[in-house]
């Protein structure tokens, strides 16, 4: 069948609501850069114009033409080896959005998708279409679904009242002040216009959503929320890091095995909990400084921009300032922690570091006859290693900025012990901290707990365990863990154990 005819038949089969969502996902606001072949007109302006005219005219003619143009572009596109282009990125986004919405065109060339994935050097696990969806856009879709047309209309009215924000914006005037969002799909188009407008104006991004939350807060709950939802529920959903669907993120496990009994058990445990959480995981055994530099270079590749979070487990011997590598060389802990968060592919995304090593030789010793022989670890352990807003201040938009971000923001560093103290581990099972952390994370999947809640529980759990040195003094001691957080949102564990879905992947 002629492709033009197929396109003509495909578009009417898509509901207006799905067309609005397909357009929204396809015009993702944060495409990787720099990209080859990106000399087009401002895509943000085009996106807003198409959404504005759809809302004003109450028809999807312009969005239909946009989707036809995309399909034709992909049909004529020749995949160039090695060089990643803007079209490559758009093709993957379009395919994943169609797959997610269950509107994949029967004429879409899946072999081209596979060829593009090859250019991104994607592994079999990374070819799952869910990786290609932007988690932040999925959260915004759910917010839109939680609002009635009247709720989005009230958001629009509140936005129109901010004259400093909308002054001189032609697309605002195209829509007009009063909008009827009730025709099918118009509510979605108006909401997505508001979102893309705020993103273009540098008022919101995947982390900073305060300006959008303030618009939602001005809605009347009784008329603006769908059944079962509240304004507080909708706003709360924006206060978590967006890590929707599979994978939960990318996990890097770096473990020094030499001279560390039980190290292989540490690797197995961290790998297992990472799989349960739905992470795609890479392991580096016996890392050296050269290994670390190679890993950092690898993480700069474009494919990692598709991930929604980054987790690193680093397990080795150490002292107060440094960690011992496999070749006996040491690296400064501070250097390690400050070099990874600055990687551009994970900016504005949660980055979690589990630093498992001694930070000195001190120990919180327990003295007295009542503690002799009371160690739960007995012979098995040895020494191996909501910001409250100040309502008195009127913080105007003029003194706010979301464009410049300190590299350590959105980073959490979890230490297995406090400064200058030991980090206990078992002869056969490795780090006690790693063991308890993996157990607690596994137990809390499906309970909607945040990572920091689990780390607080871990601190309590670990500090209850009596450990004993294996030297002649046989000192019974306790270990205290802690974390430093630069998070700006809450990171929740996924509600389900995410399997890899081969059936949703593009053909190899």
Domains for the chain: give ranges and CATH numbers. 1-29+42-239 (no CATH), 249-364+406-486 (3.40.50.1460)
Do 146 and 225 touch, CB atoms closer than 8 A?
Answer: yes
Quote the CA–CA distance of 105 and 72 in Å, as a whole number. 12
pLDDT at 30: 56
pLDDT at 207: 93
pLDDT at 507: 37
Q: Which residues contact 477 (CB under 8 A, 6 or more apart)?
A: 363, 364, 365, 366, 422, 424, 466, 467, 468, 469
pLDDT at 497: 52
Q: Determine whether 303 is exposed, middle or buried from the number of CB atoms within 10 Å of its CB (0-12, 13-18, 19+).
A: buried
pLDDT at 370: 53
Residue 42 φ then ψ, to 5°: -55, 110
Two tokens, residue 470? 């294996």
Residue with tokens 């705020």: 198
pLDDT at 60: 95
Two tokens, residue 339? 């070099």
pLDDT at 377: 44
Mean pLDDT split into 10-residue runs, the chain, 508 residues: 74 95 85 45 80 94 93 88 87 94 90 94 94 94 97 95 87 90 95 95 92 94 93 94 88 93 92 91 95 94 94 94 93 90 87 93 67 44 37 66 87 92 82 91 81 92 84 82 93 67 41
pLDDT at 195: 96
Quote the CA–CA distance of 446 and 496 in Å, as a whole number. 5
Q: In angstroms, what CA-CA distances link 353 with 249, 312, 405, 412, 422? A: 13, 5, 19, 6, 18
Sign of the Cα torsion 356, 357, 362, 367 reads: positive
């Amino acid at each position: 069948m002629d492709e033009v005819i197929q396109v003509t038949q495909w578009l009417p089969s898509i509901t207006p609501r799905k067309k609005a969502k397909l357009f929204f996902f396809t015009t993702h606001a944060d495409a990787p850069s720099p990209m080859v072949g990106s000399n087009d007109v401002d895509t943000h302006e085009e996106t807003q114009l198409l959404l504005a005219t759809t809302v004003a005219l109450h028809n999807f003619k312009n969005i239909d033409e946009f989707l036809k143009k995309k399909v034709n572009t992909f049909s004529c596109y020749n995949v160039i080896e090695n060089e990643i282009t803007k079209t490559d990125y758009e093709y993957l986004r379009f395919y994943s959005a169609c797959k997610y919405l269950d509107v994949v065109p029967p004429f879409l060339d899946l072999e081209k998708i596979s060829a593009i994935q090859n250019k991104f050097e994607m592994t079999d696990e990374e070819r799952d279409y869910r990786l290609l969806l932007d988690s932040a856009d999925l959260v915004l879709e759910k917010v839109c679904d939680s609002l009635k047309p009247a709720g989005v209309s009230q958001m629009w009215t509140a936005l129109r009242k901010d004259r400093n924000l909308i002054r001189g914006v032609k697309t605002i005037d195209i829509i007009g002040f009063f909008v009827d969002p009730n025709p099918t799909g118009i509510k979605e188009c108006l909401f997505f216009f508001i979102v893309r407008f705020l993103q273009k104006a540098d008022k919101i991004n995947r982390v900073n959503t305060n300006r959008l939350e303030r618009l939602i807060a001005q809605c009347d709950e009784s008329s603006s929320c769908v059944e079962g939802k509240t304004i507080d529920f909708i706003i709360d959903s924006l206060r978590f890091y967006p890590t929707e669907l599979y994978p939960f993120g990318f996990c890097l496990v770096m473990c020094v095995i030499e001279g560390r009994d039980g190290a292989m058990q540490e690797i197995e445990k961290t790998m297992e909990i990472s799989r349960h959480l739905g992470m795609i995981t890479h392991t580096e055994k016996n890392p050296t400084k050269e290994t670390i530099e190679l890993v950092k270079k690898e993480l700069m590749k474009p494919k990692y921009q598709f991930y929604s979070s980054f987790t690193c487990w680093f397990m080795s011997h150490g002292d107060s300032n440094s960690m011992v590598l496999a070749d006996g060389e040491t690296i400064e802990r501070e250097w390690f922690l400050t070099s990874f968060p600055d990687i551009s592919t994970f900016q504005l995304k949660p980055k979690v570091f589990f630093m498992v090593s001694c930070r000195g030789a001190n120990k919180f010793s327990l003295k007295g006859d009542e503690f002799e022989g009371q160690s739960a670890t007995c012979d098995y352990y040895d020494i191996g290693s909501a910001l409250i807003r100040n309502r008195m201040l009127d913080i105007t938009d003029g003194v706010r900025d979301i464009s410049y971000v300190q590299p350590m923001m959105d980073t959490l560093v979890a230490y297995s012990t406090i400064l200058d103290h030991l980090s206990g581990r078992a002869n056969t099972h490795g780090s006690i901290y790693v063991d308890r952390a993996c157990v607690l994370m596994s137990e809390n999947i499906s309970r909607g707990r945040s990572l920091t809640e689990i780390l607080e529980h871990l601190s309590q759990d670990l500090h209850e365990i009596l450990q004993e040195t294996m030297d002649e003094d046989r000192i019974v001691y306790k270990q205290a863990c802690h974390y430093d957080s630069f998070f700006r949102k809450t990171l929740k564990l996924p509600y389900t154990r995410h399997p890899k879905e081969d059936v949703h992947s593009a053909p190899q």
